[in-house]
Amino acid sequence: MRIRCPYCGERDLSEFAYWGDGGYVRPDPHAHDPEFAYYTAVYLRDNPAGAHAEFWYHGIGCRSWLKVTRDTVSHRILGVEFAGARR
Amino acid sequence: MRYSLFSLLRQSLVGHRGWQPVWRDAAPKRGYDIVVIGGGGHGLATAHYLAKVHGIRDVAVLEKSWIGSGNAGRNTTIIRSNYLLPGNNPFYELSMKLWEGLEQDLNFNTMVSQRGVVNLYHSDAQRDAYARRGNAMRMHGVDAELLSRAEVKRMLPFLDFDNARFPIRGGLLQRRGGTARHDAVVWGYARSASDLGVDIVQNCEVTGFLREGDRVVGVSTSRGDIRAAKVAVVVAGSSSRLAALAGLKLPIESHVLQAFVSEAIKPFIDTVVTFGAGHFYISQSDKGGLVFGGDIDGYNSYAQRGNLPTVEDVCESGVALMPAISRARLLRSWAGIMDMSMDGSPIIDRTPLPGLYLNAGWCYGGFKATPASGFCLAHLLARDESHPLAAALTLDRFGAGRLIDEKGQGAQPNLH
Amino acid sequence: MSGRRLPKGGLIARDRLLRFEFDGKKFEGFAGDTLASALLGSGVSLVGRSFKYHRPRGILSAGCEEPNALVELRDGARLEPNTRATVAELYEGLRARSQNRWPSLGFDLGAINSLLSPIFVAGFYYKTFMWPARWWEKLYEPLIRRAAGLGRLGHEADPDGYEKSHLFCDVLVIGAGPAGLAAALAAGRSGARVVLCDEDFLPGGRLNGERMEVNGEAGSSFAAKAVAQLRAMPEVTLLTRTTLFGVYDGNTFGALERLADHKPVPHPGEVRHRYWKIVARRTVLSSGAMERPLVFDGNDRPGVMLSSAVRSYLNRFGVTPGRRAVVYTTCDDGWRSAFDLIGAGVEVAALIDARSDVVDSLLTEAKRHDLPVYRGSEVVGTHGRLRLSAISMREAGGRSRRISADLLSMCGGYNPNIALSTHLGSRPQWDADLDAFTAGTLPAGMAIVGAAAGEFTLAGALKHGAAAGLEAVRALGFSATSAPKFSVEEEVPASNKLMVAPHGGAKAFVDFQNDVTRADIELAAREGFRGAEHLKRYTTLGMATDQGKTSALNGHALMAAFTGRATADLGTIGSRPPYTPVAIGALAGAHRGSMYRPVRLTPGHEWARAAGASFVESGEWLRAQWFNAPGDKDWFDSVVREVKGVRSSAGICDVSTLGKIDVQGGDAAVFLDRIYANLISTLPTGKVRYGLMLREDGMVFDDGTAARFAENHFVLSTTTANASRVMQHLEFARQVLWPALDVQLSSVTDQWAQFAVAGPRSREVLAEVLKDAFDCSNAAFPYLGCAQFAWRGRTARLYRVSFSGELAYEIAVPAGAAEECLEALKQAGAPFDLIPYGLEALGVMRIEKGHAAGGELNGTTTARDLGLGKLMSGKKDYIGRVLAERPGLIDPNRAVLVGVKPVNAASRLYAGAHFVARGTAPTLENDQGFVSSVGYSPSLGHWIGLGFLNRGASRLGERMLAHDPVRSGDTEIEITTPCFYDPDGERLRS
Amino acid sequence: MMEPHAAIAEIHIEAGEIRQVVRAMARRGEEAEFARRVRDTFALELPSKPERVCREPVAVVGIAPGAWLVMDSGFSSSLMDRLKAAAGTTASLCDLSDAYVFRRVAGEKARTALAKLVPIDLHGWQFPVGSAASTLAAHVSVLLWRLADAGSDPCFEIGVPRSYAGYIYEALAHAATTTR
Ligand SMILES: Cc1cc2nc3c(=O)[nH]c(=O)nc-3n(C[C@H](O)[C@H](O)[C@H](O)COP(=O)(O)OP(=O)(O)OC[C@H]3O[C@@H](n4cnc5c(N)ncnc54)[C@H](O)[C@@H]3O)c2cc1C
Ligand SMILES: NC(=O)c1ccc[n+]([C@@H]2O[C@H](COP(=O)([O-])OP(=O)(O)OC[C@H]3O[C@@H](n4cnc5c(N)ncnc54)[C@H](O)[C@@H]3O)[C@@H](O)[C@H]2O)c1
Ligand SMILES: Cc1cc2nc3c(=O)[nH]c(=O)nc-3n(C[C@H](O)[C@H](O)[C@H](O)COP(=O)(O)O)c2cc1C
Ligand SMILES: [Zn+2]
| pLDDT tens-digit map of C614-648 | 999 999 999 999 999 999 999 999 999 999 999 99
Q: For residue B203, give Cα distances in angstroms to B33, B75, B339, C172.
A: 21, 22, 22, 39
Q: Which chains touch A (3 or more CB pairs under 8 A)?
A: B, C, D
- Picking from A14, A60, A65 by the largest number of C CB atoms within 10 A of its own CB, the best residue to mutate is A65
Mean pLDDT, rounded, of chain D: 92
Task: Report whether residue C340 contacts ligand 2, using a CB cutoff of 6 Å.
Answer: no
Residue B68 Cα to ligand 3 midpoint, Å, equals 12
Q: For residue D12, give Cα distances in angstroms to B240, C269, C977, D3, D9.
A: 55, 17, 61, 12, 8
Averaged pLDDT, C889-900? 98
Name the pLDDT band for C480 (thresholds 50, 70, 90). confident
pLDDT of residue C132: 82
Tens digits of residue pLDDT in B80-107: 999 999 999 999 999 999 999 999 999 9
C127–B331 CB contact, under 8 Å = no
Gyration radius of chain A's alpha carbons: 14
Q: ∠ CA C111-C114-C119 to the nearest 5 degrees?
A: 135
As residues whose CB is below 5 A from the ion ligand 4, the structure lists A 5, 7-8, 58, 61-62
Dihedral angle, C-alpha C313, C316, C318, C321, nearest 10 °? 0
Pocket test for ligand 3, best of B67, B256, B332, B368 (most atoms within 8 A of CB): B332
Q: Is A19 on the interface with C (CB under 8 A)?
A: yes
Averaged pLDDT, B321-347? 98
pLDDT of residue C1: 47
Residue pair C909/C962 in contact by the 8 Å Cβ criterion: yes
Is pLDDT of D7 > 50?
no
CA–CA distance, B142 with B84 (Å, rounded to integer): 11
Pocket test for ligand 1, best of B364, B368, B375, B376 (most atoms within 8 A of CB): B364
Residue C164 Cα to ligand 3 midpoint, Å, equals 26
Q: Going by C-beta distance under 8 Å and a sequence separation of 6 or more, which residues neighbour residue C162?
A: B326, C271, C272, C273, C274, C275, C583, C585, C586, C588, C589, C590, C592
CA–CA distance, B173 with B143 (Å, rounded to integer): 8
Is pLDDT of C585 > 70?
yes
Mean pLDDT, rounded, of chain C: 96
Best CA proximity match to B382, nearest among B56, B154, B116, B161: B56
CA–CA distance, A16 with B297 (Å, rounded to integer): 11
**With the C-alpha atoms ordered A35, A39, A41, A42, is the resulting torsion angle positive or negative?**
positive
CA–CA distance, C940 with C981 (Å, rounded to integer): 8
C543 Cα nearest atom in ligand 3: 11
Tens digits of residue pLDDT in C271-284: 999 999 999 999 99
A75–C249 CB contact, under 8 Å = yes
Smallest Cα distance from C311 to chain D, Å: 36
Is pLDDT of D8 > 70?
no
Residue C427 Cα to ligand 1 midpoint, Å, equals 22
Tens digits of residue pLDDT in C679-706: 999 999 999 999 999 999 999 999 999 9
Chain C hits for A45, Cβ within 8 Å: none
**With the C-alpha atoms ordered C407, C408, C411, C416, is the resulting torsion angle positive or negative?**
negative
Q: ∠ CA D166-D169-D175 to the nearest 5 degrees?
A: 145
Residue pair C279/C167 in contact by the 8 Å Cβ criterion: yes
C545–B5 CB contact, under 8 Å = no
SS3 B90: helix
Is pLDDT of C148 > 90?
no
Q: How many CB atoms sit inside 10 A of residue B104's CB?
A: 12
Averaged pLDDT, C452-470? 97
Residue A75 Cα to ligand 1 midpoint, Å, equals 20
Averaged pLDDT, C769-793? 97
Task: Report whether residue B378 contacts ligand 1, using a CB cutoff of 6 Å.
Answer: no
Q: Where are the alpha helices (DSSP H) in C17-140?
A: 35-41, 112-115, 135
Residue C536 Cα to ligand 1 midpoint, Å, equals 19
Residue pair C428/C556 in contact by the 8 Å Cβ criterion: no
Best CA proximity match to A67, nearest among A58, A28, C599, C391: A58
Across the interface, which of D27, D94, D98 has its CB nearest the CB of C742?
D27
Q: D52-55 and C651-654 as β-strands: parallel, antiparallel, unpaired?
A: unpaired
Q: Going by C-beta distance under 8 Å and a sequence separation of 6 or more, which residues neighbour residue C25?
A: none
CA–CA distance, C399 with C376 (Å, rounded to integer): 12
Q: Whose CA is nearest to atom 21 of ligand 2?
A: C177
Residues 247-306 in B contacting A (C-alpha not used; CB under 8 Å): 249-254, 298-303
Name the pLDDT band for C500 (thresholds 50, 70, 90). confident
Name the pLDDT band for D10 (thresholds 50, 70, 90). confident
CA–CA distance, C88 with C104 (Å, rounded to integer): 22
Best CA proximity match to C659, nearest among C743, C597, C746, C598: C746
Tens digits of residue pLDDT in C952-989: 999 999 999 999 999 999 999 999 999 999 999 999 99
SS3 C787: strand
Name the pLDDT band for D1 (thresholds 50, 70, 90). very low
CA–CA distance, B346 with B252 (Å, rounded to integer): 10
Closest alpha carbon within chain D to A12 = D119
Peptide bond into C578 cis (omega under 30): yes
Phi, psi of C479 (to 5 degrees): -90, 110
SS3 C782: coil
Residue B256 Cα to ligand 4 midpoint, Å, equals 24
Task: Report whether residue B48 contacts ligand 1, using a CB cutoff of 6 Å.
Answer: no
Averaged pLDDT, A59-73? 98
Best CA proximity match to C596, nearest among D113, B166, D177: B166
CA–CA distance, C924 with C932 (Å, rounded to integer): 18
Averaged pLDDT, C3-24? 96
Is pLDDT of A87 > 70?
no
**How many CB contacts within 8 angstroms connect chain A with chain B?**
71
Q: Is D119 on the interface with A (CB under 8 A)?
A: yes
CA–CA distance, C89 with C16 (Å, rounded to integer): 14
Chain B hits for A68, Cβ within 8 Å: none
Chain D hits for C741, Cβ within 8 Å: 28
Q: Whose CA is nearest to atom 17 of ligand 2?
A: C288
Which letter does DSSP use for residue C734 in this model?
I
Across the interface, which of C248, C727, C736 has its CB nearest the CB of A84?
C736
Task: Report whether residue C287 contacts ligand 2, using a CB cutoff of 6 Å.
Answer: yes
Name the pLDDT band for A86 (thresholds 50, 70, 90). low
pLDDT of residue D3: 39
Tens digits of residue pLDDT in B253-303: 999 999 999 999 999 999 999 999 999 999 999 999 999 999 999 999 999
Q: How many CB atoms sit inside 10 A of residue D113's CB?
A: 25
Chain C hits for D177, Cβ within 8 Å: 269
Q: Is B207 on the interface with A (CB under 8 A)?
A: no
Name the pLDDT band for B164 (thresholds 50, 70, 90). confident
CA–CA distance, C858 with C896 (Å, rounded to integer): 13
Closest alpha carbon within chain A to C886 = A35
Q: Going by C-beta distance under 8 Å and a sequence separation of 6 or more, which residues neighbour residue B288?
A: B263, B264, B265, B266, B267, C145, C148, C149, C150
Is pLDDT of C885 > 90?
yes
CA–CA distance, B162 with B146 (Å, rounded to integer): 20
Residue C322 Cα to ligand 2 midpoint, Å, equals 25
- Picking from D162, D172, D174 by the largest number of C CB atoms within 10 A of its own CB, the best residue to mutate is D162
CA–CA distance, C48 with C106 (Å, rounded to integer): 9
Q: Which chains touch B (3 or more CB pairs under 8 A)?
A: A, C
pLDDT of residue D180: 56
Task: Report whether residue C199 contacts ligand 2, using a CB cutoff of 6 Å.
Answer: yes
pLDDT of residue C117: 87
Tens digits of residue pLDDT in C82-136: 999 999 999 999 999 999 888 898 888 888 888 888 899 999 999 998 888 788 8
Q: For the ranges B352-361, C147-156, C785-794, which has the lowest average pLDDT?
A: C147-156
Residue pair B144/B133 in contact by the 8 Å Cβ criterion: yes
Best CA proximity match to B292, nearest among B254, B332, B327: B332
Beta strands in C751-878 (DSSP E): 752-758, 786-791, 794-799, 808-814, 835-836
Q: Among all ligands shown, which has an atom nearest to the Cα of C332?
A: 2
